[in-house]
Chains A and B, each alone.
Chain A
Amino acid sequence: MTATSVLVIGAGIVGCSAAYYLAPEADVLVVDPMGLATQASTQTAANLHLQLSYTALKGGEEEFRRHARIIELNDDADRRWTALASETGGRVKVVNFGGIVVAESDDDVDILRRKVELERAAGFTTEFVERADLVDLVPEVASGVRGASWHAREGYVDAKTACYELARAARERGARFDLTSAVSGLRRSGGRWRVDTDPGGGVDADIVVVAAGAWTERVLSPVATVPMEVSGLTMSVTEAGSRRVEHLVMHTSRPLSVKQVSSGNVMIGGGRPARVVRVEGPLGWRTEPLRASLRAGMDDAVRVVPGLDGLRVVRSWEGLLGSPADDIPVIGEVPGQPGLIVSVAGHTGYTLGPTCGWAAARLALGQDPGVDLTPFSPGRFAAVGVAAGGTR
């Protein structure tokens, strides 16, 4: 039996940043069955999304306003990534070269104009860019693009190394990592949390932070309900080439994101589906490629950014996205379960990672996170859940 004051479940971007923020002030142990950042936190395109994506507009304006509640988290995340880059002496690599969502049809132009209006009303600093101005601002997009929405602070993080750097800094601050143990049980016992691990004799902790991404629902299931939706997404990357894209380029109505990272490789993502197959084992799922997704992503990318012509795609992969069922982040203590904190962002989870980690750390220390977390409480699922039944 291991004891700790705070146990963080999950070694992705949320878990690693929570450990980083907690370590100076508390005894922290991070557990993960697969290793450091083996799932969404390295499978992701790691875009910094600071305007809302096309998915936020799917359900009409009421739905859009619900999504717009993350603005305070977005602003916090923007500041926090910049601070992490500076605190680690640039080893956490953050690039803010500006991001653009393009419209290729008149319908999409109308949607984008409305999106920008709604975003600006909610406090976002998005701007609409007319076709005539695009040539100067983002010359790499195709002449068929009729308009775009622009956010100057968007960009990307080097997700390959970010979690490693945060984990190293957290270790230097005293945090411990167990990267071979799966959580198999969670219960309240004698005023503390008793967490069963496999292998291992379990962990006793005052506070438990569940930062398990797509696995949040499964980890919490003995004591609380946070319904998650799991989907498989497709990414591709080209060989390294000369500079061809200087911004993050996304699309109004098609799942597409294109950017060229500092090594010269162009990453193509945006959320095209992959197949998710249930399997035995600690993960419970496996992803498989869908040919149609690979090809459509490549076709969209080179149509919107013609300068990619001739580059070769050398690799594609799939990742699992776990999103809360209502698509809004879940950050907070589970009602009726003292010391059980959930932190999962879902759709733009990588962007929000450090904010989710920070907020969870502050809650674990009983301090004010400095962000209004009311809209993100796990209590909103209590009506459909079993919040009372789990304590054994």
Chain B
Amino acid sequence: MSAPAAGDPRPDRTVDVVVVGHDEAALAVVDELRRRGAEVVLADDRQVQVWAVTPLEEGDPGSAGDRDPAGMVVDLAVDGLPADVIGCRAVVSALSEYGTVPLVPGGEHAGEPGEPLDDDVLLVGGHLGATEDALRHGTPREVWLPFGRAALLGHLLRAPALLRVGALPAVRLLALLRRRGVRVRFGTALAAIERAGDALRAHPRGAGVDDPLTVRRVIVADSRIPPSELARSVGARSAWDAVLGGWVVANDAALLPVVAAGAAAGVRGPAGLAAHGVLVADEIATLIGLDGGPAPGRRTALGRAVRRGRQLARWQAGIAGRTPLPDAGTGADTVVCPCEGVTLGDLEAIVPLLPDPPTPRDVKTVTRAGMGLCQGRRCAAAVTAWAQRCGRVSTDVLDAGLRPRLPLTPLVLRAPAQPRGHEADADRLVKRQEP
């Protein structure tokens, strides 16, 4: 495998399906498709960046014309460098739900997901997976949770019997935080953040106001990074589902065959993820003409597990208090776009400049909200909600004008003199799944 020459549109190789992700849903899709004879590539999103999914080009690139029905091309990169270009007939997005993105307004990105943490960290949000991950890598100074202690207990009691087991990790994590001596502030959200020399000063909103915390890094684990980037990037609609508390992808027959699996489709829990993976694999197998789907009895069981996975997602959304919208009555210093440091007050201030009613796109263009490192993944819903309050009704992010764009993850510019010795790494990281 070699990095293709600049501008070369041809894939290095062609397989049936590329699966992006690493969780139970991703693995289940791969296993099921392999069992049925498909050639599948699993791109582990923790190490391989997917930076483009584009239709296979037919004829002269750039000319107006129909798409090649043969499929699409997936560009993979390692450490920002082109690594592998794979042609395929379908893509499965099984991306995980959160990203540990350090929060630095208007400045440089302070670290990479998965990097070991030092102890001088504030963790904001209530996402279980992200908290677990942070505790594996270090011990945060404080954890701010948006829900109150009573609300958490209430949710635990109200959890459906089937889901009680899903509540255990939350209880276990709280106990672990206490054992490690981490201060947990309940009912506390992030109001504003500012630079303080080399450090960051985070100001809380809610309980314990006027008690800011100065740390080196702030990690946002509030699940506002939608897991559905891959599907959105090729035009699939993706909308915040308040009931589900997650981003939900709606596939459209007119779109490229990009299918969301697992968390990307609003399913949680190992059993639900795996079951959803098998059902998605079956959908794709039908699409590309493979025989031998799951027997009717097994399909029913899978469907049941997926339903439980969706319930779990809804319940988790409840305890995390995940809402993408600035609450009514919040102050002017409420951060709407953390990357660019845009506050609710900034939005109110630009009203005279905007057409009436404004679109989210107007807000983005004028304030830079959504133009930072996360490219609107964290603020799109809040910007949309604000514009909606000003009169526009669409809650569909795509319609609202904050269009997802390539690359899916930031891509490093590299001068050509630098060695491009990543092919071997890429070979190792992009596992080939031969039938």
Contact A313 B410 (CB under 8 A): yes
Contact B366 A303 (CB under 8 A): no
Residue B411 CB within 8 A of the other chain: yes
Within the complex, the shortest CB–CB distance from A340 to chain B, in Å, comes to 26
Within the complex, the shortest CB–CB distance from B306 to chain A, in Å, comes to 32
Contact A42 B365 (CB under 8 A): yes
Q: A303-B416, A313-B407, A315-B405 are in contact. Are A291 and B368 (CB under 8 A)?
A: no
The prevalent SS among residues of B at the interface is: loop
- Chain-A contact segment, one of B53-61, B126-134, B286-294, B312-320: B53-61
- Chain-A contact segment, one of B104-112, B183-191, B194-202, B270-278: B104-112
A89 to B352, CA, bound (A): 16
Contact of B413 among A293, A301, A316 (CB under 8 A): A301
| Chain B, 353-380, CB within 8 A of any chain A CB | 353-355, 359, 361-362, 365-366, 368, 371-373, 375
Residue of B whose beta carbon sits closest to that of A307: B415
Residue B345 CB within 8 A of the other chain: no
Contact B415 A314 (CB under 8 A): no
Residue B91 CB within 8 A of the other chain: no
- Chain-B contact segment, one of A97-105, A132-140, A273-281, A374-382: A273-281
| Chain B, 393-416, CB within 8 A of any chain A CB | 401, 403, 405-407, 410-416
Residue A217 CB within 8 A of the other chain: no
Within the complex, the shortest CB–CB distance from B113 to chain A, in Å, comes to 14
Q: A289-B406, A295-B82 are in contact. Are A35 and B414 (CB under 8 A)?
A: no
Contact A292 B355 (CB under 8 A): no
Residue B170 CB within 8 A of the other chain: no
Within the complex, the shortest CB–CB distance from B385 to chain A, in Å, comes to 19
Q: A179-B355, A316-B405 are in contact. Are A298 and B411 (CB under 8 A)?
A: yes
Most chain A CB atoms below 10 A, which of B63, B365, B401: B365
Within the complex, the shortest CB–CB distance from B292 to chain A, in Å, comes to 34
Residue A168 CB within 8 A of the other chain: yes
- Chain-B contact segment, one of A45-53, A58-66, A205-213, A236-244: A236-244
Contact B414 A302 (CB under 8 A): yes
A-B contacts, CB under 8 A, total: 139
Contact A302 B416 (CB under 8 A): yes
A292 to B7, CA, bound (A): 4
Residue B302 CB within 8 A of the other chain: no
Contact A299 B6 (CB under 8 A): yes
Contact of B412 among A167, A177, A312 (CB under 8 A): A312
Residue A311 CB within 8 A of the other chain: yes
Within the complex, the shortest CB–CB distance from A7 to chain B, in Å, comes to 17
A residues less than 8 Å from B348 (CB atoms): none
Number of interface residues, chain A, beta carbon within 8 A: 53
Within the complex, the shortest CB–CB distance from A304 to chain B, in Å, comes to 10
Contact A168 B352 (CB under 8 A): yes
Contact A177 B54 (CB under 8 A): no
Contact A290 B355 (CB under 8 A): no
Contact A275 B80 (CB under 8 A): no
Residue A27 CB within 8 A of the other chain: no
A167 to B353, CA, bound (A): 8
Contact B413 A289 (CB under 8 A): no
Residue A310 CB within 8 A of the other chain: yes
Q: A290-B54, A296-B6 are in contact. Are A315 and B375 (CB under 8 A)?
A: yes
A165 to B366, CA, bound (A): 10
Contact A311 B413 (CB under 8 A): yes
A254 to B73, CA, bound (A): 25
Residue A263 CB within 8 A of the other chain: yes
Contact B355 A302 (CB under 8 A): no
Residue of B whose beta carbon sits closest to that of A264: B106
A residues less than 8 Å from B106 (CB atoms): 240
Contact A168 B353 (CB under 8 A): yes
A294 to B368, CA, bound (A): 22
Residue of B whose beta carbon sits closest to that of A159: B365
Contact B61 A313 (CB under 8 A): no
Contact code string B1-22 (vs A, CB < 8 Å = 1, else 0): 0000011110000000000000
| Chain A, 221-274, CB within 8 A of any chain B CB | 231-232, 238-241, 263, 265, 273-274
Residue B75 CB within 8 A of the other chain: yes
Q: A35-B361, A161-B366, A295-B6 are in contact. Are A278 and B64 (CB under 8 A)?
A: yes
Residue A192 CB within 8 A of the other chain: no
Contact B73 A291 (CB under 8 A): yes
Within the complex, the shortest CB–CB distance from B143 to chain A, in Å, comes to 28
Residue B124 CB within 8 A of the other chain: no
Residue A54 CB within 8 A of the other chain: no
Contact B365 A291 (CB under 8 A): no
Within the complex, the shortest CB–CB distance from A254 to chain B, in Å, comes to 11
Residue A36 CB within 8 A of the other chain: yes
Contact B61 A273 (CB under 8 A): yes
Contact A164 B62 (CB under 8 A): no
A residues less than 8 Å from B368 (CB atoms): 160, 263
B residues less than 8 Å from A306 (CB atoms): 415, 417
Residue B52 CB within 8 A of the other chain: yes
Within the complex, the shortest CB–CB distance from A236 to chain B, in Å, comes to 9
B residues less than 8 Å from A310 (CB atoms): 412-414
Contact of B414 among A239, A265, A300, A309 (CB under 8 A): A309
Contact B62 A314 (CB under 8 A): no
B residues less than 8 Å from A311 (CB atoms): 412-413
Contact B365 A160 (CB under 8 A): yes
Contact B362 A35 (CB under 8 A): yes
* Subset of 23 A-B contacts with CB under 8 Å: A37-B365, A38-B361, A160-B366, A164-B366, A168-B352, A179-B355, A239-B109, A239-B373, A241-B108, A265-B371, A273-B62, A275-B55, A276-B62, A290-B57, A291-B52, A293-B61, A299-B6, A301-B413, A306-B417, A309-B418, A310-B413, A312-B412, A315-B375
Using a CB–CB cutoff of 8 Å, the interface residues on chain B facing chain A are 6-9, 52, 54-55, 57, 61-64, 73, 75, 80, 82, 106-109, 352-355, 359, 361-362, 365-366, 368, 371-373, 375, 401, 403, 405-407, 410-418
Using a CB–CB cutoff of 8 Å, the interface residues on chain A facing chain B are 35-38, 42, 160-161, 164-165, 167-168, 177, 179, 231-232, 238-241, 263, 265, 273-278, 288-296, 298-303, 306, 308-317
Beyond A36-B362, A303-B416, A309-B415, 6 additional contacts (C-beta under 8 Å) are: A161-B353, A231-B62, A288-B55, A309-B413, A313-B407, A315-B407
